[in-house]
Chain A
């Protein structure tokens, strides 16, 4: 390899786990072979709310191969005392306990687990349980639940209450231009392609290894220890590969509870895999209603922003999201106000799904912004620039960086926005109306304290390790690149290990903080290794690096340390370790914001931004919408791996298309169940739906935001995308749809 072509931060590197994935060797939670394992199949409750009166399991037990039917009556009890059931997210309320008692809190709640020697026997026997319920009145209809909405006194710790400024009501009343609208987003289910699953290996000596579909192996480890009475050191949780999650793996799911209960009860290894139908019986993106009122002067300058929103939660926990703050932060209105409440219904607790809060609140707000642009008679992109805020308008703090202007400009140029004809229904091709829309995205750039280790062997092989997770996010590859960058080694000589609770401490993977946080930790660990190497180089005969006192005096490249002042003088990494008789160098470091970081957090806002441009074609006779072109220009600081980062944005955009056009979990009010609980009736975008998507990463150097200057790209791709599509549909058809998804019925008069 030419040493000039150093592989490191910024190199578009193919996924280092790619080979495992394309050959089928990558193992997911349900795929680990453990000896003497039972298969557990959960039996869902037929009612939405009430009590289990009686369970007759005689027929089920007669099925050959069935060894036990676990219910609230016979599950192990010792684990259910006053232990903490709180997971890492600490949602206020009473966490769900599978088979905890005879209460039914939501339809599909697991009320029994059939354990058998084969999956087929367990599945069949699960259909034979005869369960009697005492049913109570229930409601899963969001519109009905609004009558019970409230502002919880105990807030979720991640919640940011809206900060009002000026007198928004008065300004709105006086505004010459007014917009008032009610916007809605349907309930959505995460539906990662891999269903939630746990394979629990019961070792028989008090130790368990839990292969679990989760975004946080150490979170699950701590949870199983505190809820089921294990000592933490006896529990190892592995999630080396995760078949998508998008937030569904942030909290331990009920399959891991059932597998653990069953394993304790049977003293045997157990696997529990949810069915696709059961994937609709836990977390989901909350349904949302938001009313937006915007006031503007005659030129279109916003004078008032008022957002009031309610999202759904369960009756047993108070899940909250940041819905109303996005428009308040992003636009320079002197007056702004927001209010937020939640409404309980008889479902499982709603939860974080890709860009929780912003994907909903910013998207709905951006539809309102589009409406106001038309009211003001200003081009929708111009309108956003007119109300551009250089600072975080809600918190009054400057940004560490905000290259949104550049994102607008580069996105518009790539899209050809200047050729847009302003009037709705003014563009047509063949039998289709053509529409162009724009929207803005905004997300937090977060950082979480994370540790990592780096272990360099004398043969020049480096292993970096961290208990973070790669749920498709490209973290294996990102950490490999950071290590390659720091120690100047080719990626083939580097192994990244993650997805294992026994590795150095990391928080649950989510919120787009993993790359910035685990990347910084890996860099620190590699720098510590580098320092030792530099000292080891002193032992090399002739001391070629004489004069190098610190890492600043050398560069690491092509497996060598080169003196900056005279690159002809260098020492090989392997050479140095041999000279110093070091078989291995191993270091562990922790990246944390520290005190200065916390102060700077308060003084400055840290956010990613995006500008999304969209073209749709609408066949009015059929009501069919095609999203033919999307340009998403993203300002997300430094991009470690442009190849996998681009894929993250593509994935967010595709999920945004689902939000705009397809995804909607429909409530059966009478039965209290989700009606379309399968992939044939809950539509996620398919190949045929996705045409052309262009991703631009705008240059945004930001050494301040996080140690590596990285802001994260996991969520920003979805935020605002559905608004750009909705706005393009308005431009095409003249029909303003304020309720997502925009299904065919809403477009046909």
Chain B
């Protein structure tokens, strides 16, 4: 028996055309960028591969894990599901922009204090997601935090510690 996998019908021809880059201006962690972006580049790949902002992680590239969570105009999104060219005029905040050594975001400090991670790979996404969650203002209880953080998987299983960290910041109300 022979088996044949065809390339996607009709794409072979179009594929030969170079991807024409398009201009877009994005403010990333407070710094304005004028960028030439190929239309097929996601915000996640733009950050990681072109801007050197590897704090934002790729865990699935399909909107299924939350590792790539960043804040877009203050709202949490999966950056793997956004084409970067579509974000002209937007403001993006990544984990690098939330805080750095010496001026940590309260969530970053709480994550360290509560040991809310192990391998650290889901952590930037968890922290950005938690910042978004707090800004949304819907979560009050531990149960609500758990429910509304469920888009961010942690294979190391740090969930109870993450909930402790997020609740502490939520209750103190000192998230910027």
Taking Cβ atoms with an 8 Å cutoff, the residues of A that contact B are 14-15, 17-28, 30-31, 33, 46-47, 50, 53, 59, 62-64, 118-121, 124-125, 127-135, 191-195, 241-244, 246, 273, 275-276, 471-474, 643-644, 646-648, 650-655, 678-680, 684-693
Complex-state Cα separation, A31 to B40, whole angstroms: 20
The answer to the question of B26 belonging to the interface, with a C-beta cut-off of 8 Å to chain A, is no
Query: Does the CB pair A135–B158 fall under 8 Å?
Result: no
The answer to the question of B86 belonging to the interface, with a C-beta cut-off of 8 Å to chain A, is no
- Looking across the interface, which residue of chain B has its beta carbon closest to that of A477? B115
Complex-state Cα separation, A607 to B45, whole angstroms: 46
Query: Does the CB pair B117–A651 fall under 8 Å?
Result: no
The answer to the question of B112 belonging to the interface, with a C-beta cut-off of 8 Å to chain A, is yes
1/0 per residue, CB under 8 A from A, across B84-126: the answer is: 0000000000111001110010001101110101111111100
Nearest-neighbour CB distance to chain B for A630, whole angstroms, equals: 10
Query: Does the CB pair A276–B61 fall under 8 Å?
Result: yes
| Contact pick for A133, options B3, B147, B153, B155, CB 8 Å | B3
| Contact pick for A685, options B4, B56, B159, CB 8 Å | B159
Given the complex, which residues of A lie within 8 Å of B121, measured CB to CB? 28, 192-194, 243-244
Query: Does the CB pair A23–B104 fall under 8 Å?
Result: yes
**Central interface residue in B5, B19, B158, by most chain A CB within 10 Å:** B5
Given the complex, which residues of A lie within 8 Å of B3, measured CB to CB? 46-47, 50, 132-135
Query: Does the CB pair B64–A680 fall under 8 Å?
Result: yes
Complex-state Cα separation, A19 to B118, whole angstroms: 12
Given the complex, which residues of B lie within 8 Å of A19, measured CB to CB? 101, 104, 112
Nearest-neighbour CB distance to chain B for A320, whole angstroms, equals: 25
Complex-state Cα separation, A68 to B100, whole angstroms: 40
Given the complex, which residues of A lie within 8 Å of B146, measured CB to CB? 687-688, 690-691
Query: Does the CB pair B5–A130 fall under 8 Å?
Result: yes
The answer to the question of B52 belonging to the interface, with a C-beta cut-off of 8 Å to chain A, is yes
Complex-state Cα separation, A643 to B161, whole angstroms: 11
Given the complex, which residues of A lie within 8 Å of B112, measured CB to CB? 14-15, 18-19, 22
Query: Does the CB pair A120–B1 fall under 8 Å?
Result: no
**Central interface residue in B11, B96, B153, by most chain A CB within 10 Å:** B153
Query: Does the CB pair B120–A26 fall under 8 Å?
Result: yes
| Contact pick for B111, options A22, A53, A125, CB 8 Å | A22
Query: Does the CB pair B65–A679 fall under 8 Å?
Result: yes
The answer to the question of B48 belonging to the interface, with a C-beta cut-off of 8 Å to chain A, is yes
| Contact pick for B64, options A242, A652, A679, CB 8 Å | A679
Complex-state Cα separation, A128 to B145, whole angstroms: 44
| Contact pick for B54, options A14, A27, A690, CB 8 Å | A27
Query: Does the CB pair B157–A653 fall under 8 Å?
Result: yes
With A59-B12, A125-B15 as contacts: A23 and B155 at CB distance below 8 Å: no
Given the complex, which residues of A lie within 8 Å of B95, measured CB to CB? 22-24
The number of residues on chain B lying at the interface, defined by a beta carbon within 8 Å of a beta carbon of chain A, is 73
The answer to the question of B31 belonging to the interface, with a C-beta cut-off of 8 Å to chain A, is no
Given the complex, which residues of B lie within 8 Å of A62, measured CB to CB? 12, 15-16
Query: Does the CB pair B147–A246 fall under 8 Å?
Result: no
Q: A192-B119, A193-B122, A680-B64 are in contact. List 6 more A-B contacts (CB 8 A).
A: A25-B55, A26-B120, A133-B4, A678-B62, A685-B159, A688-B146
**Central interface residue in B38, B111, B159, by most chain A CB within 10 Å:** B159
- Looking across the interface, which residue of chain A has its beta carbon closest to that of B4? A132
Nearest-neighbour CB distance to chain A for B22, whole angstroms, equals: 14
The answer to the question of B57 belonging to the interface, with a C-beta cut-off of 8 Å to chain A, is yes
The answer to the question of B138 belonging to the interface, with a C-beta cut-off of 8 Å to chain A, is no
| Contact pick for A131, options B5, B38, B109, CB 8 Å | B5
| Contact pick for B12, options A128, A692, A693, CB 8 Å | A128
Q: List 25 A-B contacts (CB under 8 A).
A: A14-B112, A22-B112, A23-B95, A24-B124, A25-B96, A28-B121, A46-B5, A47-B3, A63-B15, A124-B40, A130-B6, A132-B3, A132-B4, A192-B121, A193-B121, A193-B153, A195-B59, A243-B121, A276-B61, A644-B115, A650-B158, A684-B155, A687-B145, A687-B147, A687-B162
- Looking across the interface, which residue of chain B has its beta carbon closest to that of A273? B58
1/0 per residue, CB under 8 A from A, across B1-31: the answer is: 1111111100110011011000000000000
Query: Does the CB pair B45–A690 fall under 8 Å?
Result: no
With A18-B111, A64-B18, A686-B150 as contacts: A130 and B157 at CB distance below 8 Å: no
| Contact pick for B11, options A46, A128, A273, A646, CB 8 Å | A128
B 116-146 contacts with A by CB, 8 A: 117-124, 127, 145-146
- Looking across the interface, which residue of chain B has its beta carbon closest to that of A33? B52
Complex-state Cα separation, A62 to B149, whole angstroms: 43
Complex-state Cα separation, A691 to B160, whole angstroms: 7
The answer to the question of B156 belonging to the interface, with a C-beta cut-off of 8 Å to chain A, is yes
Query: Does the CB pair A127–B100 fall under 8 Å?
Result: no
Given the complex, which residues of B lie within 8 Å of A472, measured CB to CB? 117-120, 156
- Looking across the interface, which residue of chain A has its beta carbon closest to that of B17? A64
Query: Does the CB pair B123–A22 fall under 8 Å?
Result: yes
Complex-state Cα separation, A692 to B142, whole angstroms: 11
| Contact pick for A651, options B45, B62, B156, CB 8 Å | B156
Given the complex, which residues of B lie within 8 Å of A130, measured CB to CB? 4-7
| Contact pick for A124, options B15, B62, B162, CB 8 Å | B15
Complex-state Cα separation, A471 to B18, whole angstroms: 41
Given the complex, which residues of B lie within 8 Å of A125, measured CB to CB? 15
Given the complex, which residues of B lie within 8 Å of A654, measured CB to CB? 157, 159
Query: Does the CB pair B155–A688 fall under 8 Å?
Result: no
The answer to the question of B73 belonging to the interface, with a C-beta cut-off of 8 Å to chain A, is no
- Looking across the interface, which residue of chain A has its beta carbon closest to that of B154? A193
8 closest A-B pairs by beta carbon, nearest first, are A24-B55, A654-B157, A243-B121, A472-B119, A21-B120, A472-B118, A651-B157, A31-B54
Query: Does the CB pair A24–B65 fall under 8 Å?
Result: no
Query: Does the CB pair A22–B59 fall under 8 Å?
Result: no
Query: Does the CB pair A692–B160 fall under 8 Å?
Result: yes
1/0 per residue, CB under 8 A from A, across B37-60: the answer is: 010110001001100111111111
The answer to the question of B78 belonging to the interface, with a C-beta cut-off of 8 Å to chain A, is no
Given the complex, which residues of B lie within 8 Å of A132, measured CB to CB? 2-4
With A684-B153, A687-B147 as contacts: A193 and B119 at CB distance below 8 Å: yes
Query: Does the CB pair A120–B19 fall under 8 Å?
Result: yes
With A19-B112, A24-B95 as contacts: A650 and B57 at CB distance below 8 Å: no
**Central interface residue in B3, B104, B111, B123, by most chain A CB within 10 Å:** B3
With A59-B15, A193-B121 as contacts: A688 and B61 at CB distance below 8 Å: no
Given the complex, which residues of A lie within 8 Å of B94, measured CB to CB? 24
With A26-B120, A244-B119, A244-B121 as contacts: A119 and B45 at CB distance below 8 Å: yes
